[in-house]
Structure 1
């Protein structure tokens, strides 16, 4: 069983096709063993021969069927809650997972800090996307057409604090910087006493479907802490992405 799984996992790299000799060389298995395993996997539709390339194989329909069933059973909120709990245990700050709906974000998972001074929020809460780090991260993932439909350039944005971005043009400059860096930062834009960092959560095809953020009261905020938490948010978002089936290139 283990050897069969080792063979299947080889097809996740490169161009997704392999020959029996290549499998033998990569895994260091006897040639007869590889032949027997490949024959069995092909008979069960886990592998299929590549058309016009005799002796080469690619993944068959069976792994796709299993992956599809796994995806159907995934619950983003439940998975997000588990990852948020792990991240919160590491940094002891409030962690959120949010999705985009229209021009707002909706928090679908939340784990509180144990500090007496912490951000007050709740799962299910809705906020303007442009005022939050999760929202800006999600807006930055949109196409220009989709962004324009949600955030028109000729309409001022509502402010939640004195630090909120109210200009669509300024927001777009921020979003460009977020795309460049890969994480979003919000400093007292939705709450005058709190700053946040956020990173993108991707699904199995690489689409950004959510964002994970860490929120910190200003009494514990600093540039050094921001960098630490940005790295942790990216790590947590990466773990949640992996649970959703995302596989980083080169991984």
Structure 2
């Protein structure tokens, strides 16, 4: 774990003071409650006010209340909670249709984090679980999400000299090969992963969009290789695309005509 930054810690301490009390504080109140130097408090409050985390209280000189920025961050957090809840419902509906394991995942740096999962009624050994993270390049959901990144951002996350770990002998570990695969995924709008995260499982995935059109997650269907065929793959791709579109619509995304 890296070193904590004192100035950031103090700024967060100030913001968290607003969780209690009447909702307004003055600089002397903060000095007294946090036992910080007046100069430090003045600089921190000025910075927070400049960034709209705090705003002056009208007709009460020297007093502050929370600004719009914490609300925006809280709204963003709520959207993520909604994504997990809506994702679980859609994943359940898709799983009931195909009786295979369905996931919804988001991208964080070069990993995927699973936020929803519904298991098949068949006994299948899976490496995934809600809350678990896996290397994005080894999974269909991860490849789908990486493929949706702008080229510059993808290059920053997966540079030419990136060391890509292998989860199975089938995992792609060469950055150039991965970028070539992602280009194909970008063209098709669907991702397929064959035994790259689990030697016994194949997977297809489709992108999930929010109301702004941004890709915020991916939905995948995983199937044991003993039930895999090109015909089954085509069917699962259709179901994954439909499920991802349904989830996108729940998030406010308007489908193209």
TM-score w.r.t. the length of structure 1 is 0.70
Shift of 1:217: 0.7
Deviation at 1:249, TM superposition (A): 2.0
Residue in structure 2 matched with residue 246 of structure 1 by the alignment:
253
Structure 2 CA distance, aligned partners of 1:178 and 1:121? 22
Q: Which of residues 68, 85, 93 in structure 2 aligns to 1:86?
A: 93
Which of 102, 107, 118 is equivalent to 1:100?
Answer: 107
1:130 aligns with 2:137: yes
- Is the alpha carbon distance of 1:120 and 1:169 closer, same or farther for their aligned partners in structure 2, counting shifts above 3 Å? closer
Match of 2:215 among 208, 212, 227: 208
Instruction: Say yes or no: does 1:114 pair with 2:121.
Output: yes
**In 2, Cα distance between the equivalents of 1:98 and 1:117?**
19
Rounded to whole Å, the distance in 2 between the matches of 1:74 and 1:123 is 13
Measure, in 2, the Cα distance between the counterparts of 1:118 and 1:159: 18
Q: Which runs of 5+ in 2 are unaligned?
A: 1-74
- Return the alpha-carbon distance in structure 2 between the equivalents of residues 199 and 187 of structure 1: 15
Task: Work out whether residues 74 and 244 of structure 1, in 8 Å CA contact, stay in contact via their aligned partners in 2.
Answer: no
Determine the C-alpha separation between the residues in 1 that align with 2:231 and 2:80: 39
Q: Per-residue deviation at 1:72?
A: 5.5
Contact 2:127–2:198, Cα closer than 8 Å, also in 1: no
- Give distance in 1, aligned partners of 2:207 and 2:114: 14
Runs of 4+ with >6 A deviation: none
Cα distance in 1, alignment partners of residues 80 and 203 from structure 2: 31
For 2:204, the equivalent position in structure 1 comes to 197
Gaps of 5+ in 1: 1-67
> Of the candidates 164, 169, 177, which is equivalent to residue 184 of structure 2?
177
Give the number of aligned pairs. Answer: 182
Cα deviation, residue 150, structure 1: 1.1
CA distance in 2, matches of 1:189, 1:166: 10
Is 1:221–2:228 an aligned residue pair? yes
Cα distance, 1:148 vs. partner? 1.2
